[in-house]
Amino acid sequence: MDDRAQQRQLPPLPTTVIPPQRYSGDAAYAEEVAKIFRRSWMFVGFADDLRNDNDFITAEIAGTSVLVQNFDGELRAFHNVCTHRYSLIHLRPCGNGKPVCPYHGWVFNKDGVPVGIPGNREQFGFSEEDRRRLALPRFEVAVRGRFVFVRLEAGGTSLDEQLGAYGLVLDHLSETFTDRIDDGILPWAANWKAGVESVLEVYHVDATHPETFKKFTKKVWDCSYEKEHSRGTTHLSDGSVRWWDGVNQKMGLPRSEMLRNYDHFFVFPNLAIGITHGSLMSVQTYDPVDPDHCNLHYRLFLGETSKPQTKGGAARKAVEDNLRGFNVQVLREDQVVSEAAHKGLKQVTRPAVPGWGEERIFAFHKAYLDRMAAE
């Protein structure tokens, strides 16, 4: 049977996609920041970094610097910008310390109020009411499993409602993958949507990843959908299965019984989670910087070994180095084509034409366009 006959047997493809003009330009970017990134529960980090009093994490949500701080066991989220002269308060991605502005030493409490102002009487004479007016803007914070989310604009659905059935997935992943082995950021010269699209399909694998991901999987791709989110599952190659079985046995790594292949989850708008052989978790966010740039923040996790004697050993280190190197190589290959696509998107007006190997892109585009149409 020739290709044309095979094509005629395929069901019709969706036709609605994001127009190229939405991938650049300040006006389009400002609108999606207002309608998507400020209204969505955004993944910002892991509760692992917030276990103790005064532990904190920081994140950028489409141009807004956010801090999440542990105040004696209670997590609260604030704008990470001092209300005095607008310095960032916490300068590190995570750490332990009270919210103290490094510029002039203003100290903020769990309500975001500046309770410590050096030389207040001589410099300002602020009353208690004045201090309350200078409180940091507060954001909503919620945790599912070990995944921490922040929402900039109050109101709307709860985190559990936004996640739907994927909330249970995050619970399971949080219990299984406890050992972080890598955490890094790659700046991409591409719109965040172009970055997201690079992980939602396998059609590009042969051309983009001929020596890496292509050898890692078979040509099987099953997709399913949950609210605005999606899942894609592909089978690992026989060689990959043998390698992982050997690693699991030698290192005593746990394996998820729910996720046995390469299972990839996407949580709208920009969180991607890949599970390999039930043994490795990759967590990625495509964080917008401006219309033409995003930061790819990646993290890798293994489960806790049942053979503690292997932890820190040469064999374990070699496995972790292998996984880190492979992951970064694949991401850099995606970076090249995403940046090339971004340049091309700025030169055309005709919408793209994804095929069935890219079907999750249609779901992503629909969720995006629905959000943009909302008032």
Does 138 fall in a domain? yes
Q: Are 232 and 338 part of one and the same domain?
A: yes
Does 10 fall in a domain? no
pLDDT in tens, the chain (375 residues): 344 444 456 778 888 999 999 999 999 999 999 999 999 999 999 999 999 999 999 999 999 999 999 999 999 999 999 999 999 999 999 999 999 999 999 999 999 999 999 999 999 999 999 999 999 999 999 999 999 999 999 999 999 999 999 999 999 999 999 999 999 999 999 999 999 999 999 999 999 999 999 998 988 889 999 999 999 999 999 999 999 999 999 999 999 989 999 999 999 999 999 999 999 999 999 999 999 999 999 999 999 888 888 877 888 899 999 999 999 999 999 999 999 999 999 999 999 999 999 999 999 999 999 999 998
Angle separating helix axes 238-251 and 314-345, nearest 10 degrees: 140
Q: Which domain holds residue 89?
A: 42-155
Does 19 fall in a domain? no
Contact 358, 200 (CB under 8 A): yes
Q: Are 193 and 99 part of one and the same domain?
A: no
Q: 């779901």: which residue's tokens?
A: 363
Beta-carbon contacts of residue 34 (< 8 Å; ≥ 6 apart)? none
| Structure confidence at residue 309 (pLDDT) | 80
Which helix (H) or strand (E) covers residue 177, if one does?
none
Q: Are 268 and 345 part of one and the same domain?
A: yes
Q: Are 262 and 209 part of one and the same domain?
A: yes
Q: Are 333 and 245 part of one and the same domain?
A: yes
Which CATH number goes with the domain that contains 137? Answer: 2.102.10.10
Q: Are 208 and 146 part of one and the same domain?
A: no
| Structure confidence at residue 335 (pLDDT) | 98
Does 23 fall in a domain? no
Does 3 fall in a domain? no
Quote the pTM value: 0.95
Reduce the DSSP state of residue 257 to 3 states and report it: coil
Q: Are 188 and 306 part of one and the same domain?
A: yes
| Structure confidence at residue 8 (pLDDT) | 52
Question: Final residue of a domain: which of 155, 174, 196?
Answer: 155
Question: Final residue of a domain: which of 118, 134, 155?
Answer: 155
Q: Are 271 and 293 part of one and the same domain?
A: yes
Extract long-range pairs of 342-351: CB within 8 Å, 24+ residues apart: 342/23, 342/24, 342/189, 342/190, 342/191, 342/194, 342/292, 345/20, 345/23, 345/24, 345/191, 345/194, 346/20, 346/23, 346/24, 348/20, 349/19, 349/20, 349/21, 350/20, 351/17, 351/18, 351/19, 351/20
pLDDT digit string (tens) for 165-208? Answer: 999 999 999 999 999 999 999 999 999 999 999 999 999 999 99
Question: Final residue of a domain: which of 118, 139, 155?
Answer: 155
| Structure confidence at residue 12 (pLDDT) | 81
Residue positions counted in the chain: 375
> Domain total for the chain?
2
Does 11 fall in a domain? no
Q: Are 211 and 98 part of one and the same domain?
A: no
Which CATH number goes with the domain that contains 300? Answer: 3.90.380.10
Does 241 fall in a domain? yes
| Structure confidence at residue 87 (pLDDT) | 98
pLDDT digit string (tens) for 245-297? Answer: 999 999 999 999 899 999 999 999 999 999 999 999 999 999 999 999 999 99
Nearest-angstrom CA–CA distance, 214 and 94: 36
Q: Are 328 and 346 part of one and the same domain?
A: yes
| Structure confidence at residue 2 (pLDDT) | 40
Nearest-angstrom CA–CA distance, 237 and 253: 20
Does 12 fall in a domain? no
Q: Are 194 and 262 part of one and the same domain?
A: yes
